Amino acid sequence: MPENISPLPDFTRWPSFPFEGDMRVKPLAAPVEVEPPRSGEDAADCVACNTPDDAYIWISERWRVRAMDRPTGLPMVLILECRSHLDIGDLPNLLAAELGVMTVRLERAIRSLDGVARVHVNRWGDGSAHLHMWFLARPYGRLQLRGTFLTLWDDILPVIPEQQWRENLALVAAWLAEFGGTAIAEPPHIQWESPSTINYSDTEPDTPATPPHTESARPASLDDVDPRQTPADHRDRAAQSATTSPDSHSRSVAGDTPLSESIPTQRAASTALGASPAGSAE
């Protein structure tokens, strides 16, 4: 056996491992002498510090919760941040204690959603300097998704419907607001249709009732971002893509699409996703 070929670790044979077929372990790169700074080490360049409240689903005096900029494969993926430009080890006792309370509260809120069995809580911190805790919901009954590889499955599973995702965001935001702070995410408006409206819709047979969720509807993952083209708000992702961190699960967040915006129609949602609406504007 050549010396650069390592045997595959046991986890590649776990039922939860998402891949099969021929694989090999990558060669280990040499360690660097001095690690590069993470994204936003300086508060002036920090994405979290420079993102306004309306990009979040819930805010309070010292904490904020944000979502991805669009649905992903898991029922819910959220990030908890403190307002202060600090990493986890720098938190003063007040914030450290509140982090515990907020973690438990957010876990409960997400677990209260229909179809959620478990909420995985992660903090990596290799990509961005500003403390951000990941909350990933595992769908009920999906035993194959248990454990370590849930972050990978989030990019593999079919994207959940936008309407359901927005309802879930609003439910979590409302749950948190019960204990304080302000819910920013609102439920999507229900489209009440009068009979005449329904008849009108019948004249547009080409308009799909629900936009298909294709790969193009996915948020860009880190590897989709060309660092040469991302000087500003994508700096976070670009910087992270230069690392081999587990934080590479990070991707674009709600800054592009304010979650407080309600969706008047499915057609508007499909437009927001970049799908081409077949019908005329209403």
CB of 113 to Zn ion, least distance (A): 29
Q: Where on the chain is the footprint of Zn ion (CB under 5 A)? A: 46, 48-49, 85, 130
Q: What angle do CA 174, 134, 110 make, to 5 degrees?
A: 35
CB of 38 to Zn ion, least distance (A): 11
Q: Locate tokens 């007040």: which residue?
A: 94
Q: Locate tokens 């587990």: which residue?
A: 246
Could you tell me where the DSSP H helices lie in the chain? 93-111, 150-156, 162-177, 195-202, 235-241, 266-272
Of the pair 46, 59, the CB lying nearest Zn ion is at 46
Q: Are 237 and 222 in contact (CB under 8 A)?
A: yes
CA dihedral 201, 276, 220, 22 (to 10 degrees): 90
Of the pair 42, 114, the CB lying nearest Zn ion is at 42
What tokens appear for 43 in the block?
A: 């508060």
Distance from the Cα of residue 17 to its chain's centroid: 21
CB of 72 to Zn ion, least distance (A): 24
Of the pair 49, 242, the CB lying nearest Zn ion is at 49
Q: Are 210 and 266 in contact (CB under 8 A)?
A: yes
CB of 89 to Zn ion, least distance (A): 15
Name the DSSP letter for residue 112.
T
Of the pair 46, 273, the CB lying nearest Zn ion is at 46
Of the pair 85, 213, the CB lying nearest Zn ion is at 85
CB of 117 to Zn ion, least distance (A): 33
